[in-house]
Structure 1
Amino acid sequence: MRSAFLRLLMQEDLNFLLTNRLPRRWATRIVGRIAAIEHPLVARPALAAWRFFSDVDLSDAATTRFRSLRDGFVRRLKPGARPVDPDPAVLASPCDAIVGAHGQIAGQGVWQVKGYPYRLDELIPDAALAERFRDGSFVTLRLTAAMYHRFHAPADLTVEGVTYLSGDCWNVNPIALRRVERLFCRNERAVIEARLQGTALPLLLVPVAAILVASIRLSFLDTERNLRERGPGRTPCEVAVAKGDEMGWFEHGSTIIVILPRGISLAPTLIEGAPIRAGERLAIIDQR
């Protein structure tokens, strides 16, 4: 019964209608409020529905007793559950994800799926910053609702700034990516500017929010308020983050786009549609 119901929901036209043609911001606010409620009469059925629809695996969770649906989304893991590749020349995946579109940036051209291009200077509000990544490489990492929702530093980094951009809340699943042009450039997102410690190599992490609990919190800035509450604009900073350290979390599945300069190559083992875990090899530094 469960598999038949899920197959029905994944029919492309129906899935797109259910997840995108409703009032997206209104639905996101409502579900966000429900997810935060700790009363058992709300939390228990919400958690049960999450487990039914997403087939979540909690075997590596630090606890399986959650006060609310949001607690389940932002769960921590048992110590050692995500070992980080120790090679200093390796950039690790910042999160658990499904590998999406990835490859070399053609000038400033990237793509969300085949046939749906966009430009870095549409995703990133600072044209000069986008230009630093000309002819570099990128990888799209999609977090599903069942996945571990925290993300981590892919290398020893110094974070130099965060720009929050308000936007829409389109679903970021493959069905929507094939139907909505420049989707990542439309959605709420943050541009995290960093450089690799000991080098001049820059790095961008772009968490993109999506429909429902579209909330991004950054551990190195302010976990009391999500980025939407802080408001749009750039926040300069100078924060050292060690490889594997937590950088923040989503309160629902979404996407992180990793943007790399020339001098860093994507790992040849990346396969579109394949899973990757936080800490696993994502890219390799070609030069120091």
Structure 2
Amino acid sequence: MQNTPIQVVDRDSGTVFDEVILGEKWIRWAYQDSSSNLMERLLFRSSLISRLFGLWYDSPLSRGKIRSVINELSIDMAEAVRPAEDYKSFNDFFARHLKPEARPFDPDPTQIVSPADGRVLVFPELDKDVFVPVKGHPMSINAMVPGLSHQFLGGALAIVRLCPADYHRYHFPASGQIETSEDIAGALHSVNPIALGAGPDVFGENKRCNTLIKTNNIGSYCFSEVGAFGVGAIINTKTAGTVSKMDEKGYFKFGGSTVVVVFEPGKVAFSPDLVANSARGRETLVKVGQPLASAVI
């Protein structure tokens, strides 16, 4: 098995660190060990295990896990609206709200912001239908956003990968009008780069929700929430109407998850640091509201 560490750039400090992966041994076994095909199908192509996780983490019995996870993952509870002891279940804690001042953003309508806390990889210009994540397998825009892909071929795409330590509510990166929203059933593969390098088209096979938002200055963009192993649910709290930048769109329950935002060709230019790090095959750790891209005027 390959055990090359996953390196991430911390945007705030500029330092590069090796990501600590919860359950790394099992992810590598499921996706990199040729003897694990049956288990991979059992765990990741069926939603049973994730549903069981969801039931447990919705239960008051799961409250005891909150403090240990805060300590293990060094979660800053000073940012949260409610203290740790105030949550009724682990999922209640996992989908915690943050204080508004914890995630400031630029209100300039030409500035597009990160939709979530997470590790960002950007593709400034897609090779028509195909994009390839870090150490990954080719993914398809046609498979990821069926029925919408024609306007995004050759466009730009950002992947924001969330880990268990992250704030798990996601927000609109730019203002606009929701045109369509579609839930798509699918598998629950891990979204970790280990899994992305093993072959499944995670963004085309996993459970997801695709939302098309029309804007005044960057055309339309597609916002896709991608479910992953252990995710009890994708909960969208805003599914229609007019939206403002940084309005909450929804949240994930427990598990690693991913948000993908796809832009039309020639409409946005990603932040230079994200482009440079992505070109080196490194994700960048960012916070929701931080700069993602600028409108091409």
- Alignment of 1:248 with 2:250, yes or no, is yes
Aligned residue number for residue 220 of structure 1:
238
Deviates more, 1:89-98 or 1:263-272: 263-272
Compute the TM-score of the two structures, normalised by the length of structure 2.
0.80
Residue in structure 1 matching 2:221, options 191, 198, 203: 203
Q: 1:281 Cα deviation (Å)?
A: 0.6
Aligned residue number for residue 194 of structure 1:
213
Aligned residue number for residue 57 of structure 1:
76
Q: Does structure 2 retain, via aligned residues, the 8 Å contact 1:112–1:182?
A: no
1:105-184 to 2 correspondence within 5 Å? Answer: 105-126=126-147, 129-184=148-203
Q: Give the secondary structure class of the aligned counterpart of 1:269.
A: helix
Instruction: State how far apart, in whole Å, the 1-side matches of 2:48 and 2:293 are.
Output: 38
Q: 1:14 Cα deviation (Å)?
A: 4.2
Q: 1:265 Cα deviation (Å)?
A: 1.6
Q: 1:78 Cα deviation (Å)?
A: 1.3
Residue in structure 2 matching 1:13, options 24, 28, 46: 28
Aligned residue number for residue 234 of structure 1:
none
Q: 1:101 Cα deviation (Å)?
A: 5.1
- Alignment of 1:27 with 2:42, yes or no, is no
Q: Give the secondary structure class of the aligned counterpart of 2:99.
A: coil
Instruction: State how far apart, in whole Å, the 1-side matches of 2:65 and 2:290 are.
Output: 32
Aligned length: 260
Aligned residue number for residue 267 of structure 1:
271
Q: 1:110 Cα deviation (Å)?
A: 1.4
Q: 1:26 Cα deviation (Å)?
A: 1.6
Instruction: State how far apart, in whole Å, the 2-side matches of 1:106 and 1:141 are.
Output: 20
- Unaligned 5+ segments in structure 2 are 1-19
Q: 1:145 Cα deviation (Å)?
A: 0.7
Instruction: State how far apart, in whole Å, the 2-side matches of 1:101 and 1:15 are.
Output: 27
1:66-81 to 2 correspondence within 5 Å? Answer: 66-81=87-102
Instruction: State how far apart, in whole Å, the 2-side matches of 1:70 and 1:192 are.
Output: 24
Instruction: State how far apart, in whole Å, the 1-side matches of 2:21 and 2:203 are.
Output: 26
Q: 1:161 Cα deviation (Å)?
A: 0.8
Compute the TM-score of the two structures, normalised by the length of structure 1.
0.83
- Unaligned 5+ segments in structure 1 are 1-5, 222-236
1:30 alignment partner AA: L
Identity among equivalent positions (%) equals 28
Q: 1:10 Cα deviation (Å)?
A: 2.9
Question: Given the superposition, is the C-alpha separation of residues 89 and 213 from structure 1 closer, same or farther in structure 2, using an over 3 Å criterion?
Answer: same
Instruction: State how far apart, in whole Å, the 1-side matches of 2:192 and 2:70 are.
Output: 19
Q: Give the secondary structure class of the aligned counterpart of 1:217.
A: strand
1:63 alignment partner AA: R
Instruction: State how far apart, in whole Å, the 1-side matches of 2:21 and 2:166 are.
Output: 20
C-alpha offsets along residues 224-268 of structure 1, whole Å, 9 cap, x if unaligned? xxxxxxxxxxxxx4x101111111111133001110112212111
Deviates more, 1:52-61 or 1:181-190: 52-61
Aligned residue number for residue 4 of structure 2:
none
Aligned residue number for residue 99 of structure 1:
120
Q: Does structure 1 retain, via aligned residues, the 8 Å contact 2:136–2:193?
A: no
Q: Give the secondary structure class of the aligned counterpart of 1:139.
A: strand
Question: Given the superposition, is the C-alpha separation of residues 212 and 7 from structure 1 closer, same or farther in structure 2, using an over 3 Å criterion?
Answer: closer
Q: 1:181 Cα deviation (Å)?
A: 2.7
Instruction: State how far apart, in whole Å, the 2-side matches of 1:113 and 1:214 are.
Output: 26
Deviates more, 1:45-54 or 1:60-69: 45-54
2:126 alignment partner AA: I
2:259 alignment partner AA: I
Instruction: State how far apart, in whole Å, the 2-side matches of 1:172 and 1:159 are.
Output: 26
Instruction: State how far apart, in whole Å, the 2-side matches of 1:149 and 1:7 are.
Output: 17
Question: Given the superposition, is the C-alpha separation of residues 89 and 199 from structure 1 closer, same or farther in structure 2, using an over 3 Å criterion?
Answer: closer
Q: Does structure 2 retain, via aligned residues, the 8 Å contact 1:46–1:69?
A: yes
